[in-house]
């Protein structure tokens, strides 16, 4: 029972989510998570520094899903729209359909705990900063880079919220396309007005 | 010296900002702020519950600057772009040119203190929620309402960051117009690509 098995990390995450959902995040101990996953506490701590990390591990892969496709673009590519679209398309690969039940359960637990919400907000703020930097190093001016990064983060958050909604069964990509279509309509609606000043 | 004078609140805020900038937010006491403003501590606490509120008072007026113009729109107005533009135009009135030195100083202090940054993020998250609700009650679907509210918040944040930048002297409205122009170009750039899915 104590030996390391492939997939222990995923089993620990799943066991933790089930326990958090049943008993509440605060009430569940690492010992209980390890027991439910059929491993020792030592194995738990081989994968996660603290209990909370069972919900936040994989943050580098998450950021990488956005940033790797930007790195793959030619250096001459300096159109913010093209760059953030590449990042968003990459993010889709991180959310295949079979990840949806996990994402849904994770979100419900985070939603119930202000401290976890803050952690999640920081994670997304970090993503926005990374996207801004990835554009700045291409020479895009700071205002445009930040606006594009923030808008991409908003598109991601909105897509994610719809994708995990009850009864939603479209793919992440299909939802993202509908969000981007809404964004175009929104921007056109705003552009149709005379300047504010 | 102890009597209440009109404008005491503003003098206390200005004195606090000056002291925070010189000595650091943590090092400054309420007694020192009151003394610098020429009032008693009692007068300070007539205006602010705790030291931190000297930086966050007026939050209702801030939210009101966005929400009042939405309330003034006819009930039949259900275009998200029109609604958030009205909100952003209202926000401009909250940031006249003579407020810029105060906003700049306040931002520098918040930027230096993680706890104050969190408070500021929460304030903006609250604004996004209020804008979403103001659209939802008009029957706008949740995804469109949230996307428009988040996009408006992004436009506001980007405008604010440019408006307080060193050497910037365009009005808040003029900067907002340039941000909205960038946003249109960004959305058009994203829309010019084929669907992701």
**Measured between alpha carbons, how far is B6 from A2 in angstroms, rounded to an integer?**
72
Residue of B nearest to A122 (CA): B118
Q: Which residues of chain B have a CB within 8 Å of the CB of A81? A: 185-190, 192-193
Residues sharing a CB contact under 8 Å with residue A68, sequence separation 6 or more, in sequence order: A90
Dihedral in degrees, nearest 10, Cα atoms B19, B24, B26, B30: 0
- Shortest distance, CA A16 to any CA of chain B (angstroms): 28
Is the same domain home to A141 and A90? yes
Tell me, what's the pLDDT at A58?
85
Number of domains in chain A: 2
pLDDT at A155: 94
Residues of chain B contacting residue A179, judged by C-beta atoms under 8 Å apart:
143, 147
Cβ neighbours for A95, distance < 8 A, ≥ 6 positions apart:
A103, A160, A163, A172
Q: Return the residue matching tokens 């995450």.
A: A13
**Domain co-membership, A142 together with A89:** yes
B196 part of a folded domain: no
Q: Which of A131, A190, A192 to mutate to test the interface with B (most CBs of B within 10 A)?
A: A190
In a domain, B2, yes or no: no
- CA B165/CA B167 separation, integer angstroms: 6
- B138 lies in the same domain as B108: yes
At B97, which CATH number? 1.10.357.10
> B146 contacts in A (CB within 8 Å)?
158, 161
Same domain for A64 and A40: no
CATH number at residue B18: 1.10.10.60
Domain membership flag for residue A163 = yes
| pLDDT at position B43 | 94
Interchain pair B158, A173: CB under 8 A: no
Per-residue model confidence as pLDDT tens digits over A75-87: 999 999 999 999 9
Q: Is residue A1 in some structural domain?
A: no
pLDDT tens by residue, A7-59: 888 899 999 999 999 999 999 999 999 999 999 999 999 999 999 999 998 88
Same domain? B102 vs B159:
yes
My answer on whether A27 and A97 are in the same domain is: no
In angstroms, the CA B67 to CA A163 distance is 29
pLDDT given at position B1: 44
pLDDT mean for each 10 residues of chain B (197 residues): 64 94 95 95 94 91 95 94 95 94 94 86 89 96 92 95 94 94 88 65
Q: Note whether B104 and B153 are same-domain residues.
A: yes
What are the CA-CA distances from residue B142 to residues A93, A162, B107, B132, B159 (Å)?
25, 9, 32, 8, 25
Q: Do B186 and A148 touch (CB under 8 A)?
A: yes
- A77 and A50 within one domain: no
pLDDT at B196: 59
What does each C-alpha distance from B114 to B25, B53, B118 come to in angstroms? 11, 16, 6
Say if A3 falls within a structural domain. no
Residue A50 sits in the same domain as residue A62: no
Confidence of residue A194 (pLDDT cuts 50, 70, 90): low
Shared domain for A45 and A108, answered yes or no, is: no
Q: Is residue B1, in this structure, part of any structural domain at all?
A: no
Listed residues B54, B71, B92: the one ending a domain: B54
Confidence at residue B2, expressed as pLDDT on a 0 to 100 scale: 46
Q: Is pLDDT above 80 for A136?
A: yes
Same domain? B161 vs B94: yes
pLDDT at A193 over 90: no
**What per-residue confidence (pLDDT) applies to B146?**
92
* Residue keyed to tokens 């552009």: A191
Contact A66, A127 (CB under 8 A): yes
Note the pLDDT of residue A88. 96
Supply the range of the domain harboring residue B77.
Answer: 58-191
- pLDDT value of residue A148: 96
Q: pLDDT grade, residue A1 (50/70/90)? A: very low
Domain check: are A81 and A164 in the same one? yes
* Cβ neighbourhood burial of B113 (10 Å; 0-12, 13-18, 19+): middle
Residue among B176, B188, B195 whose CB faces A196 most closely = B176
Across chain A, mean pLDDT equals 91
> Is residue A118 included in any domain, yes or no?
yes
Q: Are B30 and B49 in contact (CB under 8 A)?
A: no
Query: Is position B3 within any domain?
Result: no
């Amino acid at each position: 029972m104590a030996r390391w098995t492939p997939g222990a990390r995923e089993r620990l995450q799943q066991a933790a989510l089930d326990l958090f959902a049943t008993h509440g995040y605060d009430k569940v101990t690492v010992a209980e998570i390890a027991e439910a996953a059929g491993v020792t506490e030592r194995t738990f701590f081989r994968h996660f520094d603290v209990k909370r990390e069972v919900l936040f591990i994989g943050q580098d892969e998450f950021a990488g899903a956005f940033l790797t496709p930007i790195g793959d673009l030619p250096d001459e590519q300096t159109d913010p729209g093209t760059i953030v679209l590449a990042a968003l398309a990459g993010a889709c690969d991180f959310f295949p359909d079979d990840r949806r039940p996990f994402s849904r359960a994770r979100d419900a637990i985070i939603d119930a705990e202000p401290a976890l919400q803050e952690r999640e907000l920081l994670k997304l703020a970090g993503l926005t900063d990374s996207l801004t930097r990835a554009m700045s190093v291409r020479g895009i001016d700071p205002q445009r880079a930040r606006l594009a990064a923030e808008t991409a983060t908003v598109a991601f958050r909105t897509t994610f919220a719809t994708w995990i909604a009850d009864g939603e069964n479209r793919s992440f990509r299909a939802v993202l396309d509908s969000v981007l279509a809404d964004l175009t309509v929104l921007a056109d609606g705003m552009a149709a007005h005379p300047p504010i000043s």
